[in-house]
Each structure stands twice: as structure tokens, then as C-alpha cells.
């Protein structure tokens, strides 16, 4: 109910007409106004009203028992791993003295609970809550209070809301074991990336360096191992080890923490050099287990040969390799890249890893850029410390270093699970729909090599928060895409889940959206007699509570003013020869008829 809008429309409808008064039958539960208040706009509208507004209250709050989540103030979007604040107002009518649990859930998972002390004589209870989203995307959350026997309304004990969880910044932890040109250029990329929040550590000397000063005088800061790899580990979106040997600085138990972090959805990258892979002591450690390569024993783990990088022929569509949008331009961009110097060897790609680029030396192939998935996370190996050549030398040859920046942007996007890099993509054409409006769902299915999956069955489930469920099966077209249109018939929040099976690889994706209507009558079920009294008072009307004895005939309105508009026009007959001729014709016919009848 929106009474202000109703009276505005009524005024437009009867503008210029004689409206003598209005009889309003309502409980006064206006969803557009705060309880026990009347908006200044409403008062100004009634002050100029022609004729009284007589208000008749339907029902009363006597013996009205209800516990409700009356108001919820939350942001439409939030940042992953950052607190989201909620301001909740709980209303209680005739509930007695109780301690009420207010519970915040995502699906069946309880995120937070607060105890609200409800006491007689107090109707409203403000509650501040704070939670931290742990997953990206449109997330639907539920606030609930218990439903007690005897409550007048049950539906307002629950409130669903949606928060679009995004990344404010991509938090990157960069550990570099030795100052070099490659580390300098990579740090420049990360520091200047508009979406990256960089925390970088450079090891300027090792314990074996022969220096004349004590360690306390040479260390800028002590290495915060526990803080980085225990307390704040999950706050990072990506960890990069660049030419870094862990043993002098990190205990092995922290490597297991990194392993768990990646398997649970984190991202890890190792960049080559003499202190990486076998040279850094990572054989048979928890770090090797998350790399897309196995570390083989070798007497010389790093060789200093120059070479041109060759892309994997079956992975030309992989998003990491897209330096240009058009395929021929992209191929030329790779061909024009300068040579690299130095490569880590003894790296054996795992079964499901993707060798994106390699160094071909006769019958020997050395993997240089390898990507793989580890549990819920992602991992990449770059087995060289000379990628900076693609910037420095390219510029020196008169070209541009933008392909170097583009490659690193692609690597960061893939590692941090950017939606455009997913093998199963699901989206809606809008985030919010009106009740009865068509919703369009779009699905895209890709193979492991990022070619389209053609003719794949997509099992689609649309589920409302009330448990209603609709299932459909559709197939992808030649582009690996499918679409489904559906019309929700009621307001609320819906979740769409799709499942596909691509050659035994079972994938799932979900998305949420909301459907709203113009009214939600049970949000404020209490009678608002204050509003009805003020409407009658300001307009010069009468307020009354409807009972069996209410006599509506006692309400009198003056008769409306009736105005009849008349119009006259004088026409001269003698100035119009057509009219004059017509009259003469009638006279002649009359004379002729009388003469034939013998009357003349």
C-alpha cells in the first residue's frame, strides 16, 4: 500500500471535476512510510485537498501477536573477504519477555547468530550485524527469527536479500628470492595493475652471503612467516614465488598451509630461475603437489640457452595465450616476441595439465608455461626468468611492451578464476525482474582446450526460496551455447543451477536473481491508526474504527456542482442559395401535391 501515490493518482483523475470528498477504508499499513509517521509530502497533498477525507480503520492491534523482521538495510554489493554490514529492525507485538535468536544463513549454512532480548512495552529492536562473504557472484542470504504459536503473520519471520560479491582488489603476495631484471619488470606489472593490491618481499641477501655486518643491521624487517602463511593466508587471491628458495625463511609446515589454501580455491604461481623448482628444494614437498608439473631429479635444473617459445597447438584458444583478439594477429604477436634466455628443466607435466608453451630443442621438449587445476584452485608454472625480454628488448627493437603486460593480465585473470575464463558460464540478462517478466538464462560450455562443447546436455534447475523447483534439459549449439527463457509468476529470490558432463568431467554453476512486485502487504501487518487519524484531521474529515455498528449513511457530502455547457450558432438562410433552393423545392412539392389532390 502506498497511500501518497494513491491520493496523487486520485487528484489527477478528478482534476477539474467537482470531487466533494473521499471515504478511505484501510488498515493504514503504508509500506512507503515509517510506522507512526506521516511524510511531509503526504501532509502537503492533503492540505490542498478539495473536500474531506473520512477514514475508516479496518481492524485493530488489540491482541495482535507478531514477531517480524520489519526493516533490513544492506548494500547491494560487497567485497569478497571484506565485512558487509547489516542494519536490521525486529518488531514484536504482544510477544511477552523472550530471548529471540536472529540467524543469518546462506543456503543451509549458518553464518551468524544474534540474541535479541524482547521485552514487554518495547515494540522495535535495532540490531547491527556483520558478516564476511567467502565466494564471488550474486549470493542470496536469509535472515530468520523463530515462528511462535499464535502469531498473526508467519511470512514476515524471514527476509531474503541478495548481495553481489565482487573483488575490490586482487590481493597478490609476491616473494622474490633475488633481485633481477625479471623480478623488477614483474613487480612493475603488479604494482601498476589497476586491480592488484600488491604485497611484495625481496630477499636482498641470503644467510650464506659474506658480509661484515650483523643480520640485525642488514634486515629491513624480519620475515613475517606466521602472519603471511597462517593468519592472513586466506586474504590473498594469488601467491607468486619468483626465483625463491623457501628453506631459509619458511618452515615446511607453512608449505602445507599453502597447499590447502590452493586446493580450497586459492591460486599459486612459480616463476623460474636458479632458485625455483629443484633449485629451491621443492621436490617432494607440499608445494610440488600443487604444481602442474612433477619435479624430476637432474644434475643441472637450470640451463642458460636462448630460444623462441612455441605455443601448444591444441590450446590456441586458451585465454592465457590471447595477446590479440583476432587469431591471425595473435599468431603474429607470438611470432614477433623476442627470444628468451634460460629455462628450468626436469619438469614433467602432470596428466591433466595444459602445456601452453614450450621450448623445442630437437627431439626434446621443455615445458615453459604450464597451467593446471588443483582441487578448487589453480596453479601455473613459468619455467624461465627472462620473460622481461618481451618488454625491455621489444621496446629496444622499436616495438611495444604491451604484449608482455597483456600476457600477465591474462595470467592473473585465469589464476583468480575470472568468469570469462571458466569452462562453464551461466548468466542472466538482468539481475532484477518484475513479477511476470520473462527471464533469459544464457549458458556457455567449453572443452578443456577452450573449444566449444557442441551438443552437450545441460541440466537446468530453477528453485525458489520456498522450495518450488523447475527442471529443464537443453542442448548446446555449434558455439557451445544454450539459452532458456522462463517467466516467474511470483516475487522472491530464485537460484538457477546448471550441471553438465563433458567427457566425464562433471561441472556445476549457479546464479541468483530476484523478482519483485510493487507491494508486499505482510511486511507491515500492524494497523497504523496514527496515519489514518492524521489524514482525517488534515483534510477536515472524520476518523472511525469500523465495527458492526458503523453507520456509513451518516456521512454526508454536499451535492456536486453541475455545469452544462451550451452552444448556439446563427445561420442566415437567405445568404445561402443551396438552402434557399431547398426551401423553394419543398414549397413547390407541397403546392403540387395539394393541386393533384384537388385541395387547391
3-state secondary structure 250-297: CCHHHHHHHHHHHHCCCEEEEECCCCCHHHHCCCCCCCHHHCCEEECC
**pLDDT beyond 90 at 544:** no
Query: Does 43 or 322 have the greater pLDDT score?
Result: 322
Average pLDDT of the segment spanning 417-444:
89
Query: Does 582 or 507 have the greater pLDDT score?
Result: 507
**pLDDT beyond 70 at 391:** yes
Pairing of strands 439-445, 424-428: antiparallel
Give the pLDDT score at 344. Answer: 95
Q: 433, 514 in Cβ contact below 8 A?
A: yes
pLDDT grade for 525, boundaries at 50, 70 and 90: low
Residues 205-233 pLDDT 10s? 655 555 555 555 555 567 788 889 988 89
**pLDDT beyond 50 at 519:** no
Residue 185: half-sphere exposure toward Cβ, Cα within 13 Å = 19
From residue 350, how far is each of 296, 355, 373 by CA, in Å?
12, 9, 11
**pLDDT beyond 90 at 20:** no
Dig out the grid coordinates for 327 from the structure.
Answer: 587469431
Q: Cα 469 from chain centroid?
A: 22
pLDDT grade for 587, boundaries at 50, 70 and 90: confident
Q: In what order do the strands lie in the sheet with 492-502?
A: 432-434, 505-516, 492-502, 457-464, 469-475
Burial 556-587 (b: 16+ CB within 10 A, else e): eeeeeeeeeeeeeeeeeeeeeeeeeeeeeeee
Give the pLDDT score at 247. Answer: 87
**DSSP code of 524?**
S
Query: Does 382 or 139 have the greater pLDDT score?
Result: 382
What is the CB neighbour count within 10 angstroms for residue 143? Answer: 23
Ordered by where they begin, the domains of the chain are 3-60+527-554 (3.40.50.410), 66-167 (2.60.40.10), 170-415 (3.40.50.880), 423-516 (2.60.40.1930), 575-600 (no CATH)
Q: In what order do the strands lie in the sheet with 77-79?
A: 77-79, 158-166, 137-144, 98-106, 109-118
Average pLDDT of the segment spanning 521-544:
75
Average pLDDT of the segment spanning 368-372:
97
Give the pLDDT score at 529. Answer: 75
Give the pLDDT score at 481. Answer: 95
Nearest CA-CA partner of 61 in 399, 525, 440: 525
Class of residue 325 by CB neighbours under 10 A (exposed 0-12, middle 13-18, buried 19+)? exposed
Dig out the grid coordinates for 111 from the structure.
Answer: 553464518
Residues 92-119 pLDDT 10s? 888 889 999 999 998 888 999 999 999 9
Nearest CA-CA partner of 203 in 188, 218, 181: 218
**pLDDT beyond 60 at 352:** yes
Average pLDDT of the segment spanning 3-27:
81
pLDDT grade for 330, boundaries at 50, 70 and 90: very high
Q: For the chain, count helices (H), then strands (E).
A: 11, 31
Residues 483-496 pLDDT 10s? 999 888 787 888 89
**pLDDT beyond 60 at 518:** no
Q: In what order do the strands lie in the sheet with 84-93?
A: 66-74, 84-93, 124-131
pTM score: 0.69
CA dist 56 and 62 (Å) reads 17
Pairing of strands 481-486, 439-445: antiparallel
Residues 246-283 pLDDT 10s? 988 898 999 999 999 999 999 999 999 999 999 999 99
Three-state DSSP state, 443: strand
Query: Does 76 or 597 have the greater pLDDT score?
Result: 76
In the chain, the N- to C-terminal Cα span, in Å, equals 82
What is the CB neighbour count within 10 angstroms for residue 312? Answer: 17
pLDDT grade for 573, boundaries at 50, 70 and 90: low
Residues 558-567 pLDDT 10s? 776 666 666 6
Nearest CA-CA partner of 528 in 78, 34, 97, 186: 34
Three-state DSSP state, 155: helix
What is the percent of the chain with per-residue pLDDT over 90, rounded to a whole number? 46
Highest mean pLDDT among 3-7, 164-168, 206-210, 305-309: 305-309
Mean pLDDT taken over the chain: 86
Average pLDDT of the segment spanning 176-196:
91
Query: Does 582 or 243 have the greater pLDDT score?
Result: 243
Amino acid at each position: 500500500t502506498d497511500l501518497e501515490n494513491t491520493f496523487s493518482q486520485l487528484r489527477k483523475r478528478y482534476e477539474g471535476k467537482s470531487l466533494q470528498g473521499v471515504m478511505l477504508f484501510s488498515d493504514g499499513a503504508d509500506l512507503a512510510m515509517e510506522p507512526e509517521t506521516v511524510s511531509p509530502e503526504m501532509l502537503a497533498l492533503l492540505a490542498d485537498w478539495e473536500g474531506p477525507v473520512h477514514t475508516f480503520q479496518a481492524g485493530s492491534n488489540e491482541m495482535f501477536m507478531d514477531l517480524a523482521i520489519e526493516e533490513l538495510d544492506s548494500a547491494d554489493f560487497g567485497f569478497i573477504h571484506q565485512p558487509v554490514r547489516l542494519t536490521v529492525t525486529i518488531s514484536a507485538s504482544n510477544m511477552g519477555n523472550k530471548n529471540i535468536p536472529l540467524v543469518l544463513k546462506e543456503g543451509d549454512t549458518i553464518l551468524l547468530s544474534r540474541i535479541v532480548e524482547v521485552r514487554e512495552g518495547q515494540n522495535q529492536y535495532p540490531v547491527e550485524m556483520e558478516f564476511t562473504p567467502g565466494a564471488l557472484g550474486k549470493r542470496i542470504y536469509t535472515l530468520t527469527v523463530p515462528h511462535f504459536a499464535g502469531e498473526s503473520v508467519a511470512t514476515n519471520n524471514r527476509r531474503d536479500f541478495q548481495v553481489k560479491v565482487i573483488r575490490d582488489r586482487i590481493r597478490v603476495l609476491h616473494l622474490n628470492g633475488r633481485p633481477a631484471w625479471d623480478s623488477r619488470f614483474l613487480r612493475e606489472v603488479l604494482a601498476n595493475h589497476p586491480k592488484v593490491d600488491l604485497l611484495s618481499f625481496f630477499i636482498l641477501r641470503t644467510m650464506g652471503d659474506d658480509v661484515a655486518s650483523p643480520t640485525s643491521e642488514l634486515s629491513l624487517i624480519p620475515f613475517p612467516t606466521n602472519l603471511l602463511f597462517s593468519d592472513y593466508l586466506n586474504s590473498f587471491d594469488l601467491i607468486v614465488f619468483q626465483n625463491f628458495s623457501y628453506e631459509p625463511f619458511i618452515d615446511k609446515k607453512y608449505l602445507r598451509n599453502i597447499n590447502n589454501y590452493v586446493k580450497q580455491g586459492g591460486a599459486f604461481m612459480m616463476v623460474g630461475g636458479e632458485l625455483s623448482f629443484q633449485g629451491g628444494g621443492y621436490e617432494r614437498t607440499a608445494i610440488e603437489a600443487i604444481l602442474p608439473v612433477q619435479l624430476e631429479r637432474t644434475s643441472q635444473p637450470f640451463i642458460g640457452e636462448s630460444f623462441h617459445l612455441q605455443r601448444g597447438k591444441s590450446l590456441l584458444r586458451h585465454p592465457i595465450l590471447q595477446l590479440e583478439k583476432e587469431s591471425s594477429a595473435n599468431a603474429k604477436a607470438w611470432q614477433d616476441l623476442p627470444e628468451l634466455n634460460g629455462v628450468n628443466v626436469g619438469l614433467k607435466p602432470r596428466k591433466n595439465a595444459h602445456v601452453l608453451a614450450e621450448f623445442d630443442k630437437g627431439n626434446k621438449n621443455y615445458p615453459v608455461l604450464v597451467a593446471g587445476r588443483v582441487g578448487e584452485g589453480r596453479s601455473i608454472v613459468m619455467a624461465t626468468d627472462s620473460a622481461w625480454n618481451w618488454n625491455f628488448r621489444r621496446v629496444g627493437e622499436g616495438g611495444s611492451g604491451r604484449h608482455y603486460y597483456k600476457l600477465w593480465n591474462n595470467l592473473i585473470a585465469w589464476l583468480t578464476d575470472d568468469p570469462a575464463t571458466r569452462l562453464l558460464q551461466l548468466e542472466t540478462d538482468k539481475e532484477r525482474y518484475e513479477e511476470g517478466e520473462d527471464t533469459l538464462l544464457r549458458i556457455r560450455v567449453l572443452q578443456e582446450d577452450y573449444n566449444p562443447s557442441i551438443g552437450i546436455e545441460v541440466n537446468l534447475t530453477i528453485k525458489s526460496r520456498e522450495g518450488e523447483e523447475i527442471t529443464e534439459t537443453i542442448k548446446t549449439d555449434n558455439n557451445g551455447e544454450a539459452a532458456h527463457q522462463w517467466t516467474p509468476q511470483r516475487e522472491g529470490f530464485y537460484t538457477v543451477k546448471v550441471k553438465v558432463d563433458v567427457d566425464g568431467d562433471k561441472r556445476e554453476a549457479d546464479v541468483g536473481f530476484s523478482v519483485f512486485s510493487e507491494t508486499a502487504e505482510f511486511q507491515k501487518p500492524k494497523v497504523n491508526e496514527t496515519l489514518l487519524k492524521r489524514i482525517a484531521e488534515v483534510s477536515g474529515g472524520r476518523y472511525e474504527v469500523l465495527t458492526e455498528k458503523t453507520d456509513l449513511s451518516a456521512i454526508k457530502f454536499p451535492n456536486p456542482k453541475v455545469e452544462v455547457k451550451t452552444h448556439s450558432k446563427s445561420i442566415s438562410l437567405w445568404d445561402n442559395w443551396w438552402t434557399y433552393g431547398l426551401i423553394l423545392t419543398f414549397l413547390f412539392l407541397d403546392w403540387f401535391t395539394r393541386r393533384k389532390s384537388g385541395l387547391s
